[in-house]
Amino acid sequence: MSILTAIDLNKTYGKGLSTVKALTDINLSFEKGRFTSIIGPSGSGKSTLLHCIAGLDSITNGKVLLNDKDISKLSEDELSKLRREKFGFIFQSFNLIPVVNVYENIVLPVNIDNKKVDKKYINNLISILGLKDKVDKFPNELSGGQQQRVAIARALANKPEIIFADEPTGNLDTKTTYEVMDLLKKCVNEFGQTLIMITHNNEIAAMADKVITIKDGKAS
């Protein structure tokens, strides 16, 4: 069953002479509870696609359906609620809050929604990501790889239906990369979450149930 569908999706940046056509007539569907990887050359439109289907960026033409609902028609408030409740994001830049500790950063999305923190689940995430002895530290006391792991735990804290990831292991060493991939695959295979991930790493791309290639703003 498809959870997310792009129909005739087009994205153009800018106006007048300086326009850039980033995506052209994209028709794709993402299966619920599956891992889809997105590969393609630099500048081909991968991040633009991810941002458009995740409701982070407006689209120029077409539709983006979440189940059967066109999310490209939602207001900014409705979109931000949707993203908070149903989506988890892992980007190359971690966007951690510098003034609160690692634990507070991780549970932030749960607290924003006034939900109860599932301590067992959060502690399991912390332990799998090797952050047990870092929970009281502040982001600037951690290495880049450690900060990325905190960002991953935060993205998963709300048990999102869809995890959008843009090169999530780009800054990690090989061992941590495989640990993180094991965790993300577990999210898909054991918890039924949907994972959509951009990667430049062919080995990681091959772990997916489906691989989409973007070239010159077109999908194949």
Q: Is 44 in the site for ligand ATP (CB under 6 A)?
A: yes
Q: Does 168 bind ligand ATP (CB under 6 A)?
A: no
Strands 61-66 and 69-70: antiparallel
Give dist(CA 36, CA 207) in Å, integer. Answer: 9
* Residue 22 interacting with ligand ATP (CB under 6 A): yes
In this chain, which stretch among 12-20, 102-110, 113-121, 131-139 interacts with ligand ATP, using CB under 6 A? 12-20
Please state, in angstroms and rounded to a whole number, the distance separating the CA atoms of residues 11 and 139: 35
Q: Indicate which single residue of 5, 34, 46, 142 sits in contact with ligand ATP (rule: CB under 6 A).
A: 46
Binder of ligand ATP out of 26, 28, 40, 129 (CB under 6 A): 40
* Least spacing, CB of residue 42 vs ligand ATP, in Å: 3
Tokens 């094991």 -> residue:
182
19 forms part of the interface with ligand ATP (CB under 6 A): no
C-alpha dist (Å) from residue 190 to 61, 134, 186? 36, 26, 5
**Token pair listed for 195:** 């994972």
- Where do contacts with ligand ATP occur on this chain (CB under 6 A)? 13-14, 20, 22, 40, 42-48
